[in-house]
Amino acid sequence: MTFLNAILLAGAAAFLIPLLIHLLNKRKVQTVHWGAMHLLQEVMRQRKRKWKIEQWLLLAVRIAIPIVLALCLARPVLTALRAFGLGKTSLVMLLDDSFSMRAPSAGGSPADRARQDMTRMLETQPKGSDVQIVLAGGNAHKLLDQSTTALDLLPKQLADVPTQSGPVKVNDALQAAAASLSKATSGARELAIVSDFQASDWQSVADGAALPALEALLKQDPKPQVTFYRLASDLTENLSIASADLSALVVAEQQPVGLRVRIQNHGKRPWQDVAVHLEADGARLRTSRVSLPPEGEAIIAFTHAFDKVGDHSLAVRLEGDSFPDDNAFYSVVQVRNQLNVLLVDGDPSDDPLGGAADFLELALTPYQSASATLKDLIRTTKVDARRLRDEDMKGKEVIILADSERYRGNLQSLEKFVKAGGGLIVFAGPHADINWYDRDFYRKGEGLFPVSIKGLQHATSAAPARILQQRLTHPATIYFNDARGGRLQEAEFQTWWEFEASPNAKPIMQLDRGTPLFVEKTHERGRVIAAATSADAEWSNLPLQPFFVPLMQRLVTYLATQSTISAWDQVGAPLRMVMGKERVGVEYTLRDPTGQTETIKVKADGDKSLLESKPIAAPGIYKLTQGAETRLLAYNLDPTESNLAPLAADKVQELAKRHDASFVDSIDGWQKLDRTRRHGSELWQPFLMGLLGLLFLEVLLQQRIAKG
Amino acid sequence: MAALSDILHSEDITSLQHLQLFARTVVEGFTTGHHASPHKGFSVEFRQHRPYVQGDDLRRLDWKIFGRADRFYIREYDEETNLRATIVLDASGSMAYRGTKGVQKFDYARKLAAAMSYLLVSQQDAVGLITFDTKVREFIPNRTRITHLHHLLETMVKTTPGKETTLAPVLESLAQRLKRRGLVILISDFFDDPAAILKSIGVLRKQGHEIIAIQLWDRDELEFPFGQWSRFENLEKDDDFLLLDPATVRQRYLEVRQAFQDQLTEGFRKHQVDFLPLPTDEPHSAALRSYLALRMR
């Protein structure tokens, strides 16, 4: 035990005062010649033994009072808890920089409070301590390359943390923190998890899910002290744009693009007439109004046609709630003159829809086929597979082989076309030679065909194969997750190629027989998609389904725009673009929504080059320019962060307890805990309680003795 | 011989003279007829004749009746006596207590006894005196003469408080000494075993004595006002003391004293003894007034 005000211990000498009074009282005795002795003797007879004990007890209490008072004033500290002495510590702060930390609150947003509190935490670190900050949102990463002892510089760096990342992946974040802690130089290791403990991130852990990273961290030697620092917002009402789907990734001039927006009410109150604005290229075009039930959602659809070729931004913005950061959604629409597609028909026919590629032609150019005035983005050229020449590939962005017995053209030219960034779709069919496809086109993984073919599979018409109902993640098929995109399960398949599973080929859609319907493989800058069914109605009724049109359009536009960027990405990750080697050293300028620019130099990356920016922090439209070339990029926040409901404090406390960690929710709590850890536990409070108890006992004894 | 003024202040004597005027009308025996004696015996007031029975004193035979009627009759008279009062004065050690106000209990008791003797003698009553501590120290039989008063006062002046109080045997011996019924005035602090005292009182009462018990308390004994540590030395016994912090026992002392007092009060009440507790800071005249008030009932 040590004392913070040890000098005040001298006050304990005051115990002599009651003792001296007691002794002096006994010495300064007056003599009374007393008559009523029998009465006094009766008094003493009744309580002589008890009285003596009580007298001594009273004296002991009176002596103890100044001693305990002096101990209390000297602020004793129990040092049994001091594990590592008063020296420096290695502190890792796991800061939740996810977007929910920005939610406004009475005392400032959790993010602001976290910055302030962390600055004060840094101020109280012993000299020589080293600190690392791990940003937990999205893909957890360290703020500094290595931990620093220059703690006075950290507040500035903390102030620059944008706190707009996606959800905290708790285990990943803890793993990053554990990695930092394991490199700690000092024996005293501490981990402070500073977060709003948003239920969407932490609920599963609170419900008992394991946290292997934390368990491993706690096994480190010496064992780190872990603190759960909760800074939650008191905001419960929030509106957000949960998702927005574009009807097409690439459109033609004047071709309308649809935008379906899902607006979510995370609060308990209903909202009426919430204004939702559509903005194109930064200009507000129109406004719709929606009403939202408590904890419900509403869907609103917009369409817009751009009249100029190039990249255009499209944004949806709603207004009304007190947390506007998640009220916008940004995307980029590419407007092209046209996409040129070569249809290679393996079984051409003069009959309407009799050829193997006829349905495809119809699906890719619906306006042209319907003789409508509207313009198709895609322009198709159909050739007979037997008469295919290399020249046919010129100017084409995508080639589709439909039921070709084999590739009659120059296979090397086709490979070159794909590797240069072209797209290839290969449909099966009754005329296709499986052996050739497997042997020469797949070529044990060396060829263009993505997978090996096991053989033909059949199903009866009574029990046809169907598309497996599952959440689709491929960019070309996300649109069909919503039933309004088309009922995929209505397509029936009687015959299909059974593909071998391959690690290099990514399934896009599966049949319910456990085999892929579409698989994709990348070949340098280009991609190949293999379809297990035919493009005509020979093996299935797929071409007869309404969703066949958007599906084919999306697959084609996906392949045609594969070397460009997607319509939008989530903030948190850096912009990465793979380019040809010739681009090494070229400088690009990335301009963020606030107008600040970052110059990025293309670096060599093997036989390619790579453009990589710093992690994108804020949502909005970014502009990437190099010379006359300009591309737009859209970044959005992760919508799961918009549900602000935090874990209740007692749940976090329970969680902390379960993981042998401490819990605090204020800087005072932290400082108290920190003092306890570094200096031991202050004991003045129990001493004060003891003092009060002694005073009470003194009065009690006095009264008891007086009563006899 | 000590003069009355040696032990009584002149104002006390004056006060007594005033009281005497009032006392004359109430004290038994002072005015014949007012307090007709309930006891029958020799006197001048004839009451009745009754037939002689064996054992009757032959001197009381009415020979005239025998001459006339040839029968033996005894003449009975109403006794017409003065009051026979015996003052029993406690001279034990505890009576030597001199309180913080400087009044000694025995001194106060002596003055009170003197005043009462004076009152009684001046009313032509026969007054006796007994002083005692563990045993009877002085016994002066009842007389009515004024010179007797001087003898009483002389004895009182000579007496100083002595040993322990043992009232019970003293009272028992008193019962043997007082052959004729009368008034016994006990002036004491009664610092003895109450049960023993009351038993002896009972014996006296059975003999027909009327008893007035005057209990003297010093104010210190009533309130126990001591503050600092004190050595309480027993006035009645050498080498007997208690060293204690009075403040710590005061409450309990008061309770024990009250219990003692209650026991005496109740016991005296049962024996139909007039009990008069008196603090020594009350003037003697007030004490006498209380005494006379008791006698008027």
Query: For residue range B141-180, what is the model confidence (pLDDT) as tens digits?
Result: 888 777 787 788 888 878 888 777 778 888 888 888 887 8
Determine whether the interchain pair A708/B252 forms a contact, defined as Cβ–Cβ distance below 8 Å.
yes
Chain A neighbors of B229, CB-CB under 8 A: 25-26, 28-30
Query: Model confidence at B41, in pLDDT bands (50, 70, 90)?
Result: very low
Chain B neighbors of A40, CB-CB under 8 A: 232, 242, 244, 249, 253
Determine whether the interchain pair B243/A29 forms a contact, defined as Cβ–Cβ distance below 8 Å.
yes
B93 touches chain A (CB under 8 A): yes
* For chain B, the helix, strand and coil percentages under 3-state DSSP, each to the nearest 5: 45, 25, 35
Phi, psi of A656 (to 5 degrees): -60, -45
Minimal Cβ distance to B191: which of A38, A44, A55: A38
Q: Which residue has the higher pLDDT, B236 or B275?
A: B275
Buried b (16+ CB within 10 A) or exposed e, A601-617: ebeeeeebbebebeebb
Determine whether the interchain pair B221/A41 forms a contact, defined as Cβ–Cβ distance below 8 Å.
no
With CA atoms as reference, report the closest residue to B122 among B21, B34, B26, B14: B21
- Going across the sheet that includes A328-336, the strands are A250-252, A328-336, A310-318, A271-280, A283-292
B236 touches chain A (CB under 8 A): yes
Structure tokens at A41: 């003797």
Beta bridge partners of A30: B230
Q: What is the model's pLDDT at position A248?
A: 76
- Going across the sheet that includes A629-636, the strands are A569-570, A629-636, A620-626, A587-591, A597-601
B218 touches chain A (CB under 8 A): yes
Determine whether the interchain pair B229/A29 forms a contact, defined as Cβ–Cβ distance below 8 Å.
yes
Type of residue numbered A168: V
B196 touches chain A (CB under 8 A): no
Determine whether the interchain pair B251/A706 forms a contact, defined as Cβ–Cβ distance below 8 Å.
yes
Determine whether the interchain pair B96/A28 forms a contact, defined as Cβ–Cβ distance below 8 Å.
no
Q: Which of residues 97-126 of B touch A (CB under 8 A)?
A: 97-98, 105
B231 touches chain A (CB under 8 A): yes
Minimal Cβ distance to B252: which of A31, A34, A47: A47
Determine whether the interchain pair A36/B94 forms a contact, defined as Cβ–Cβ distance below 8 Å.
yes
Q: What is the ipTM of this complex?
A: 0.75
Closest chain B C-alpha to A59 CA, distance in angstroms: 13
Q: For the residues B128-138, what does the mean pLDDT come to?
A: 86
User: Which is it for the CA torsion B287, B289, B295, B297, positive or negative?
Assistant: negative
**How large is the greatest C-alpha to C-alpha distance in chain B, in angstroms?**
87
Determine whether the interchain pair B221/A26 forms a contact, defined as Cβ–Cβ distance below 8 Å.
no
Determine whether the interchain pair B226/A41 forms a contact, defined as Cβ–Cβ distance below 8 Å.
no
With CA atoms as reference, report the closest residue to A573 among A140, A9, A128: A140
Say if CB B205 and CB B271 are below 8 A apart: yes
Closest chain A C-alpha to B56 CA, distance in angstroms: 51
Instruction: State whether residue A199 is helix, strand or coil.
Output: helix
With CA atoms as reference, report the closest residue to A29 among B238, B239, B243: B243
Summary mean pLDDT of chain A: 86
Buried b (16+ CB within 10 A) or exposed e, B16-50: beebeeebeebbbbbeeeeeebeeeeeeeeeeeee
With CA atoms as reference, report the closest residue to A80 among A680, A682, A683: A680
- Beta-carbon neighbour count of residue A538 at 10 Å? 17
Beta bridge partners of B213: B186, B275
Distance CA A444, CA A440 (A): 9
Mean pLDDT in order along chain A per 10 residues (708 residues): 72 80 74 87 75 81 88 72 58 89 87 91 84 87 87 86 81 89 80 91 87 86 88 87 82 82 90 92 91 91 88 90 87 85 92 90 84 75 90 91 91 90 93 93 92 92 91 85 84 94 89 93 89 94 93 89 70 80 88 90 86 86 88 87 88 90 90 76 78 89 71
Say if CB A394 and CB A422 are below 8 A apart: no
pTM over 0.80: no
For residue A396, what are the contacts with CB-CB under 8 A and spacing of at least 6? A340, A341, A342, A381, A417, A422
User: How buried is A99 (Cβ within 10 angstroms: 0-12 exposed, 13-18 middle, 19+ buried)?
Assistant: buried
Type of residue numbered A678: R
Instruction: State whether residue A37 is helix, strand or coil.
Output: helix
Structure tokens at B279: 């603090």
Q: Which residue of B has its CA nearest to A33?
A: B233
Q: What is the model's pLDDT at position B32?
A: 36
Distance CA B35, CA B28 (A): 5
Bridge-based pairing state of the strands A587-591 and A620-626: antiparallel
Chain B neighbors of A55, CB-CB under 8 A: 245, 248
Determine whether the interchain pair A26/B229 forms a contact, defined as Cβ–Cβ distance below 8 Å.
yes
Structure tokens at A455: 């053989």
Chain A neighbors of B260, CB-CB under 8 A: 39, 42
User: How buried is B91 (Cβ within 10 angstroms: 0-12 exposed, 13-18 middle, 19+ buried)?
Assistant: buried
B234 touches chain A (CB under 8 A): yes
Chain B neighbors of A42, CB-CB under 8 A: 256, 260
